[in-house]
Amino acid sequence: MSFLACILPVLTFLCQPVLGAVETCVGGQAQRFLAFLTNWADGLFVDRGSPADEVAERGCPAEEVPESVSEIVGVEETLSEIRSHLINDESVGIIGICGMGGVGKTTMLKRINNEFLEPGRWGSFDLVIWVTVSQTVSILNIQRQIAERLSISLSGSSSEVENARVLFKALSNKRFLVLLDDLWEPLDHLEDIGIPAHRRGTNSKIVLTARSLQVCSGMDAKAIPVKRLDGASSWKLFSSKLGTKEVVRNNPTIRLLAEQVVQKCGGLPLALITVGRAMANRELIQDWEYAVNALDRYAERLQGMDKVLSCLKFSYDYLKNDNMRSVLLFCAMYEEDEEISTAKLVDYLVGEGLVDDENDGGEGSMNDARGAGQALINKLLDTCLLESGTVSWTVKMHDAVRDMALWINRHEYNKVDGFLACHSIIRREDREHIKRIRLRDKDLEEDARFNPDVILSCSSNRTLVLKDVRGLRPPILQGIASSMKSTLRVLDLWNSDTWWELPAEVGLMAELRFLGLSSTGITSLPKELGNLAKLRQLFINTNILEQIPQEAIAGLRSLQVLDMSCTVYDWEADPRGGEDGGRQLELGDLEASLPRLEELGIQLGTPRALERFLKSDKLCSRTRELRVKMRHRSQSEDPPLYGEGGYLLRRVFSRMGRSLKTLELHGDDAHPWEGGLRISLDQLPLEHLSLSNFRSERMPEVVLVGSNFNPRSSSNIVRLTTFIMIWCDGQKVLKLVGAFPCLQNIHLSHCSTMEELALDEGVAAGIAEEGTQDDAGLLDRHFPMLSGIFLSELPALKSIGRRPLRLPELRLISLLHCPELRRIPVDPAGVPKLGTIFARQEWWDTVECAGSGGHDTKPVFEKKFRGLGVEEVGGTAKPQLAEARHGELDRGGVRVGRQHSNSLASEAAEVVAR
């Protein structure tokens, strides 16, 4: 869990109008910021009379949806018909794309959405909204997805009726296209959701996908059935997945067998793709003969299953090893359309022992184990049995693949890693075969299907994930520990209402490798926890944990990951202060007693603890996340948290430059900072940095120093992805000097004296190489990935740059309660992908937008403005805070009540909370 998860409530308040919710930034996080709009600088001062010019000014109406499963093959005729109804037919308000699972409905809907990314292609709509519905319809979830696309925050306490009123008002003055994916039953009275009904002349329309023609009829939709692919298109799609095609082309026998395989896939794209991937690079005639015969057998044996499911079952059985099959079934435990954090999934797989080398026996490094886990997931992505999620750190399952996995779980549970999940139906006599249990948002005292007896009767279980589960009383935990003591390897109780103490029986679980206690009500750990000799990962992020006996942690000889970065534990308390008089955990115990420790997340609340920590080479080199915050409101008699003159903080920078990824610093109220705060990030390769509660008139400025463009003088790449500064007073300037090649989000909030955000300081300081400075403004190379700027409650802010900003990936600017900011330095050439400027209407009416040469660019950005009234800005803070506190915090990201959203605002907040 990240340090930023600890300030999630504050961050949620900061971004309340654009967040319905709040990853890792290592490696491929930049993939998240998808390129979907070409540069249209030449259109800045064009005549605004034509529709094409209007589209150029309005910018891209859609957000990209990854087309991850299949290409569009052989369906151009169907797509043309849909386009015709969208563009030219005012009589059609709702279009229904219908067909069986796996026929390509969602793929076509994604293509329709993404075609709006092409500038000037269609000018019919101001806004395109993607909504995933799923089999279990949730009106509230639909409303939230629409609200996120509109950058509107819905109060967590509002009713569906109130939400509908807000959405209806926001959509009524727009030409919108709503894309509803995976509708299983008609949605009666769209106005009750908040979607205005179609009227001639408004151009607003809806396109939906459904398996049933009756759903289209019930929605009064123009039904467009999706036909199966013909022979030529089927062969084209299938052969594109085979890898080495020469064998099929050059061997007539294999070619004949391959054509029979294609025929048995029935023209279904998903079947053709998964079977094609399964047969990739197969060069033996026997392999192809087996495939033909196997597909025939599946069709006979799996009577009642449609053709796509039997083909998927073949692809499942044809996976290279049992571990791949086991991982796929693991993913099927998640809800339909739920996006799965790959980092959390990998940690579970490591805990189960699925990804360790057979010779390691769990003795290898955590980094190697996680790499093997990610490789396993990548292989499933290659087979198309898993799909990439809407963001790069998640995966998901096609609903047809999930249907196949559920069939296996019902009918072959005695042969596979059977599971019990919220959607499972398992007979009592079959529970001995259950290997995994995942429950979410259940009450064990009220739900008879998942009462404690059901869980305890699964005595062979090795993974138990209880997320947001209520009624988890101590006797139940005792029963779990006792009944599964020889089998359980993964236990995660995330945000479940445990009752204060973890029972001593937890020490009986000799096989446990992963233990997650984050966001629980546990206040003390039992010393018996130290008996878990095989435990490799321990997550105990809970802000009420007070008692940690020394034996509970010091005995964990196999522990490699210890995350307590949001745990308010007093490292300087009397070590004899335990309730039973036993010695409490000290920093020295972490250094001396954990021989395999690789990754540490920790919170320190006193200068003595910080100084003791910095003396340890082992702790400094192992720490990935560090949070420094006084445990209580500091008093004048307390020693300064960062030491006199800040020498302890300077030691943090010098001692932890090689390992630290996440740093959160809180100010010391009783000892105001003296002088400016300057952080050189080329010597401290942080990915996330947060400053909060630095209140000192003697700290005039905060300076972040990035990379020098000259590689000969700066060998370290600045990896900062997210910067947050909140509740800081006294500072007048925040400067970002140099290049920040990975920076994606800047959050600045509740800093009452802040007058300037100097984003162009690098150019002004002449840091760029000779000949690279652009007279029109800031170099693209300074902030090549910056996509979100969130500014809130800054009453003194007057400037966010003296030159027109050149930010090639900027998608959103949120400006709330910044009354003195009268000028925004932007022009279309510098911010070609800017899609939303979010602010109060009365502020926007008076602000200036100035481009190169001082030209007025406000008319160009008028269409990008999204405004909120007073009641919408001010009325959602408390519910949002409550929702944020119950968000899912994990190593792979923070999810707060959001299944599907590509909105930059929501994604930006999720990105920060790794």
Give the CATH number, domain containing residue 577: 3.80.10.10
Q: For residue 139, give the CATH number of its domain.
A: 3.40.50.300
- Lowest-confidence region among 26-30, 279-283, 706-710, 830-834: 26-30
The owner of tokens 């026997």 is: 286
| Per-residue model confidence as pLDDT tens digits over 520-569 | 888 889 999 999 999 999 999 888 888 899 999 999 999 999 999 988 88
Residues 147-174, mean pLDDT to the nearest whole number? 83
- Sign of the four-CA dihedral 300, 304, 306, 308: negative
* 19 belongs to a structural domain: yes
pLDDT-wise least confident of 51-65, 332-346, 643-657: 51-65
pLDDT at 48 over 60: no
Q: Is 877 a residue whose pLDDT tops 90?
A: no
Instruction: Please tell me whether residue 786 adopts helix, strand or coil conformation.
Output: coil
Region label for 134, one of left (φ > 0), alpha (ψ between -120 and 50) or beta (otherwise): left
Helix (H) or strand (E) holding 756, with range, is strand 756-758
Does the structure show a pLDDT above 70 at 212? yes
Read off the pLDDT of each residue in 282-297 and give the average, rounded to a whole number: 90
Residue 897 has pLDDT above 80, yes or no: no
| 284, pLDDT greater than 60 | yes
pLDDT bracket for residue 780 (50, 70, 90): low
Separation between Cα atoms, residue 61 and residue 724, nearest integer Å? 29
pLDDT value, residue 715? 55
The residue among 338 and 357 whose pLDDT is bigger is 338
- Which has more pLDDT, 682 or 791? 791
pLDDT of residue 638: 83
> In this model, does residue 754 exceed pLDDT 90?
yes
- 741 by Cβ neighbours in 10 Å (0-12 / 13-18 / 19+) ranks as middle
Q: For residue 886, what pLDDT band results from cuts at 50, 70 and 90?
A: very low
pLDDT at 670 over 70: yes
Taking only the tens place, the pLDDT of each residue in 448-475 is 778 888 888 888 999 999 999 988 888 8
The pLDDT tens digits for 213-253 are 888 988 889 999 988 888 998 998 998 888 777 778 788 89
User: Quick check: is 339 in a domain?
Assistant: no
Do 476 and 588 lie in a common domain? yes
Q: Is the pLDDT of residue 52 over 60?
A: no
Q: Do 749 and 708 share a structural domain?
A: yes
In this prediction, residue 713 carries a pLDDT of 47
pLDDT of residue 655: 86
How much is the pLDDT for 818?
Answer: 96
Which pLDDT belongs to residue 2?
42
Strand 733-737: give its sheet, edge to edge: 677-680, 701-705, 733-737, 756-758
Whether residue 271 lies inside any domain: the answer is: no
Strand partners, 177: 128, 205
Mean pLDDT, residues 714-733: 88
Domain check: are 37 and 99 in the same one?
no
Token output for 624: 């990935």
Assigned domain for 408 exists: no
pLDDT of 587 above 90: yes
**Domain contains 53:** no
pLDDT at 16: 36
At 44, the pLDDT band (50, 70, 90 cuts) reads very low
Instruction: Say yes or no: 706 and 757 in one domain.
Output: yes
Check residue 426 and give its pLDDT: 65
Cβ neighbours for 446, distance < 8 A, ≥ 6 positions apart = 471
Are 17 and 82 part of one and the same domain? Answer: no
Region 311-323: what's the mean pLDDT? 90
User: What is the predicted pLDDT for the residue at 101?
Assistant: 83
pLDDT at position 851 is 87
Write phi, then psi, for 108 (nearest 5 degrees): -70, -40
* Mean pLDDT in residue range 85-97: 87
Confidence (pLDDT) at 498: 80
Quote the pLDDT of residue 343.
93
Asked if pLDDT for residue 414 goes beyond 90, the answer is no
In which band, very low, low, confident or very high, does the pLDDT at 41 lie, cut at 50, 70 and 90? very low
Same domain, 753 and 697: yes
Average pLDDT over residues 184-200: 83
Average pLDDT over residues 322-335: 94
pLDDT score, position 796: 97
Residue 195 lies in a domain: yes
Return the amino acid letter for 75.
Answer: V
Say if residue 713 is in the same domain as residue 853.
Answer: yes
Long-range contacts of residues 458-461, Cβ cutoff 8 Å, at least 24 apart: 458/420, 458/431, 458/432, 458/434, 458/484, 459/432, 459/483, 459/484, 459/487, 460/432, 460/433, 460/434, 460/435, 460/487, 461/434, 461/435, 461/436, 461/437, 461/487, 461/488
- CB 586 within 8 Å of CB 575: yes
Q: Does the pLDDT at position 12 exceed 70?
A: no
pLDDT category of residue 91 using cuts at 50, 70 and 90: confident
Domain shared by 11 and 95, yes or no: no
588 assigned to some structural domain:
yes
d(CA 739, CA 717): 9
Rg (CA), the chain: 28
- Domain shared by 16 and 94, yes or no: no
Average pLDDT rounded to a whole number, residues 894-910: 31
Which pLDDT does position 120 carry in this prediction? 60
pLDDT, greater one: 881 or 473: 473
pLDDT tier at 3, thresholds 50, 70, 90: very low
pLDDT, residue 710, reads 56
**Strand runs labelled E in 36-107:** 94-98
State the pairing for strand pair 340-341/394-396. Answer: antiparallel
Among the three residues 206, 225, 244, which one is the final residue of a domain in this structure? 225
Residues 521 and 569 in one domain: yes
370-to-181, 373, 385, 563, 663 alpha-carbon distances in Å: 33, 5, 21, 16, 23
pTM above 0.85, yes or no: no
In terms of domains, do 95 and 32 share one?
Answer: no
**Domain boundary residue among 569, 597, 625?**
597
**Statement: residue 615 has pLDDT above 80:** yes
Q: What is the pLDDT, as a whole number, of residue 357?
A: 54
Q: What percent of the chain has pLDDT over 70?
A: 81
Determine the structural domain holding residue 863 and report its residue range. 676-762+780-869
Of 225, 253, 268, which closes a domain?
225
Domain count, the chain: 4
Distance of CA 707 to the CA centre of its chain: 28
pLDDT at 782: 86
Mean pLDDT over all residues of the chain?
Answer: 80
- Span of 154-168, 830-844, 898-912 with lowest mean pLDDT: 898-912
Residues 467 and 540 in one domain: yes
Q: Check pLDDT > 70 for residue 699.
A: yes
51 within a domain of the structure (yes/no): no
Cα 438 to Cα 419, 422, 428: the distances in Å are 8, 7, 17
User: Residue 437 belongs to what H/E stretch?
Assistant: strand 434-440
User: pLDDT class for 5, splitting at 50, 70, 90?
Assistant: very low
